[in-house]
Structure 1
């Protein structure tokens, strides 16, 4: 990773797959599969496999030389999976592209994690489709709610090791796919066979979809 580590401490712009808007900030830390950017008083953790382009940018005139505050999570031996593990229980923003949701990582499985959102409740998010995660300072809560007004309530459904197996458990239920990001779909999950699922939409029309294109799924 010497190619990227030579840019530590420098300002850069990042173009990510599936994101219309680029990210600009200071490169704070780098792991084998993740890069950490400090932008607008927040730490953004970007899986490197979504990095389409990264280029150095001039320091902005309104920036100060002050040292960024300590991050909310541990950076020792940093990696994508470790960042997910360390962010559990910390109010965070996760991005699937141009769609972001706020809440808490509650469980991490082989290829997906469970994210509890006050608006969507438990959402199963594919590890490979997460564009970035932003853990907020400790003790921050969604919408400035008091902790006693926002208990984290993970889904009662048991968790499978893989996302495909978890999707099978949702057969026969109304589900929402990808939370508004393309390809967005909502309807009755009629059946799952191999890597294909059949979804019946409100009009009664069935469609097929490959599970590789499922970024997130939840039961409304």
Structure 2
């Protein structure tokens, strides 16, 4: 079975972080799979698919299928992660990066190895492309947290962004930041500097903490 032969099959995937997704495989791209779970299209980078298997008949029967939303990409073109992110730009979207919670908002800019995301909760965020597990575009009548469009600025930052994630973090030297949505106290502090692929943070008690750049998934200012 080649990769395209799986399209139209019901599958179950394990995603990095021990997350399980079940649904209909509707498309496969160079670095991305698209699964319809009965309510939404999930755009899943292949790098985070740990394993997958076909669903059994009784498992398929457990999925409740509603009306399919309109996909955000052109079915006549081969999809990719970057094309999908570009198509999702400005659309209210759910993204999943850490093992704890999803983020809701919209994509502002797409850079070389990260993208800029606006969250009504965390405001402007920098998201590593390497750590993006999946994204789910909202349907047209949905708004995050029930907010009106007027509460969600089109270009909230007004800043220019570095081309790479590493350089963007370097621009944060001297700022109070939160990495990885504050999953523990060791990823919150003032950026003191970057050396040998480690970011030095100064904690609330003024202790230095060194965070491996490769494990930084999200960045936002306090």
TM-score in terms of structure 2 length: 0.90
Distance 1:138 1:183 in 2: 37
Spell out, residue by residue over 1:116-164, the C-alpha distance to the aligned partner (whole angstroms, 9 max, x if none).
Answer: 0000011000111100011111253211212122223432332111011
Query: Please, which of 203, 213, 216 is the counterpart of residue 211 of structure 1?
Result: 213
Q: How does 1:1-220 map to 2 (within 5 A)?
A: 3-17=2-16, 19-59=17-57, 60-63=60-63, 68-75=68-75, 76-98=77-99, 99-181=101-183, 185-220=187-222
Task: Please say which of residues 197-206 and 175-184 is displaced more in the overlay.
Answer: 175-184
Q: In the superposition, relative to structure 1, how do residues 56 and 128 fare at CA in structure 2: closer, same or farther (>3 Å)? A: same
Structure 2, gaps ≥5 residues long? none
Distance 2:174 2:64 in 1: 55
Contact 1:178 1:184 in 2 (8 A): no
Q: In the superposition, relative to structure 1, how do residues 69 and 209 fare at CA in structure 2: closer, same or farther (>3 Å)? A: closer
Distance 1:40 1:182 in 2: 34
Contact 1:43 1:71 in 2 (8 A): yes
Distance 2:186 2:9 in 1: 37
TM-score in terms of structure 1 length: 0.91
Spell out, residue by residue over 1:144-196, the C-alpha distance to the aligned partner (whole angstroms, 9 max, x if none).
Answer: 21212222343233211101100111000000001144796111111112422
Distance 1:113 1:50 in 2: 18
C-alpha root-mean-square deviation of aligned residues, in Å?
Answer: 2.0
Contact 2:26 2:36 in 1 (8 A): yes
